[in-house]
Amino acid sequence: MGFDYCFACGKDNPHGLHMHFERDGDGVVCHFRTEAHHIGWPNVQHGGITCTLLDEASAYVPFLMGLVTVTAELNISFKKPIHVGEQLRVWAKPTKVSSRLLLVEAGVEGEDGEVKATSTAKMMVLSADKQKQLGMEGLET
């Protein structure tokens, strides 16, 4: 299975979130609507879904630079609950880029711009050998 089955962005994954990213300056942005099947506590989006939104946005920053990375670290601050039916703006931008590591800042905001969650991520750039070693097959950027 390739990119199209990515849980966060794959168009062919029937269980996925179907995130779609666009460039925004040197970063990325995506709009996402919280649905009933995304909850943990009643009416409140599961924190794991929020993590996925932030992780994916962080991964798309290097991806759109033509780099294959994995998340080595992801630190999240959950600021406000997200409720079913909310329309969210998910963004990410690089704060430091080196040949092996990118630091990426990301956030989730409500329609009124309220900050729901923020994160910082360390994205490790993978060589072709490392991709093979980690069992990542069929990757082409």
Q: Using CB under 6 A as the criterion, which residues of the chain lie in contact with ligand MYA when the complex forms?
A: 3, 6, 9, 55-56, 59, 63, 70-73, 122, 124, 130, 134
Cβ 43 to ligand MYA shortest distance, Å: 27
CB-wise, 72 or 115, nearer to ligand MYA?
72
CB-wise, 30 or 59, nearer to ligand MYA?
59
CB-wise, 115 or 139, nearer to ligand MYA?
139
Cβ 121 to ligand MYA shortest distance, Å: 9
Kindly tell me the burial class for residue 79, based on how many C-beta atoms sit within 10 Å of its own C-beta (0-12, 13-18, 19 or more): middle
C-alpha 82, offset from chain centre? 16
Cβ 124 to ligand MYA shortest distance, Å: 4
- The strand pairing partners of 79, in sequence order, are none
Comparing CA positions, the residue from 101, 111, 98, 97 lying closest to residue 27 is: 97
d(CA 79, CA 2): 34
Residue 90 tokens read as 């998910």
CB-wise, 114 or 128, nearer to ligand MYA?
128
Cβ 37 to ligand MYA shortest distance, Å: 20
Residue 49 tokens read as 């879904």
